[in-house]
Amino acid sequence: MKGKRFNYVVEHTKIECYTKQIEENIKFKNLFESLRTRLSGHLPSPGHYHLIIPAEVVFIKLNEKKVRIAIENWVRAKAIELELEHEIFESPNDVPFEITLRREKSAIPQIEGKCLVSGIVSGNLAGKRIVRIEEALMRKCPKLNAAKFKSENSKSLLIFESDDLIFSNQQAIAEAVVFELLKRKNGDMPDDIYLVETDLVERWSVWIIKEGNKHFPDIDGWGPYYFNVLGDHTQLIETEGIANKRTNETIHKNAKAKA
């Protein structure tokens, strides 16, 4: 990729918090997303509800329709007796695992009356995330380093993509990336590393984890940089804390290239 000052060699990888997370997220959404639409707006007010289901159940054999109906009936029944800022957890009839229902005050009007559905993962999630990022760096750093020295006046850029709204956030990912980078002793660190959060289809958030010799949390204006994704192109609609014009232009070019 050609820039005004440098040629960029780019590698992109989609990161998981743990093995098979992407597959698990897809299965979870297919299995339980309909509960959100069927229950939102049909439970007692005030407040909103949060239905929490073990994510790993997507890999066990279930009578999916029967389980969904059982969960829906259970939520409707329990919501009537559940007070604000309380929760209940049990294994309903015909549901071979424990689930949790919380009733919470709505901090913003957009979620009032909604029923949010999310998965929960057992074990040390932070540790699992570090392992996955370590594996990604082991795959990508040598490739980027080799490509950089084959091209004159080049910089290397590694783009991490995350579309996980439930389990990840930019700070947790940045901390894990920097932790693993500082362990590498063979001098193949990318010049720049960006995190692109694509969990919102219509808008991406970009964060700078590493820029030259600086890395999170010592980068002024590390993000977010917001991009409105419109069909086959990406339009910058808002920037916050932009460090300088060169950084902004570089991020914009790479967001366009990825779109």
**The sheet that has 99-104: what strands, in order across it?**
86-90, 99-104, 48-54, 115-120
The stretch 254-259 carries a mean pLDDT of 47
148 and 223 in a single domain? The answer is yes
151 and 85 in a single domain? The answer is no
Length of the chain equals: 259
The stretch 187-211 carries a mean pLDDT of 87
Count: domains in the chain: 2
Measured CA angle at 51 (ends 49, 56), to 5 deg: 165
| Residue 1 pLDDT greater than 60, yes or no | no
The stretch 181-193 carries a mean pLDDT of 89
pLDDT more than 70, % of the chain: 81
Q: What is the model's pLDDT at position 165?
A: 57
The residue among 5 and 74 whose pLDDT is bigger is: 74
- Residue 190 belongs to what domain range? 7-18+124-258
Local confidence band at 116 (pLDDT 50, 70, 90 cut-offs)? confident
pTM of the prediction?
0.58
Amino acid in the structure at residue 50: H
The stretch 18-46 carries a mean pLDDT of 86
Backbone angles phi, psi at 243, to 5 degrees: -70, -45
Q: What is the model's pLDDT at position 163?
A: 78
56 and 82 in a single domain? The answer is yes
123: helix, strand or coil: coil
* C-alpha distances in Å from residue 197, one per residue of 91, 166, 187: 34, 12, 27
Q: What is the model's pLDDT at position 143?
A: 93
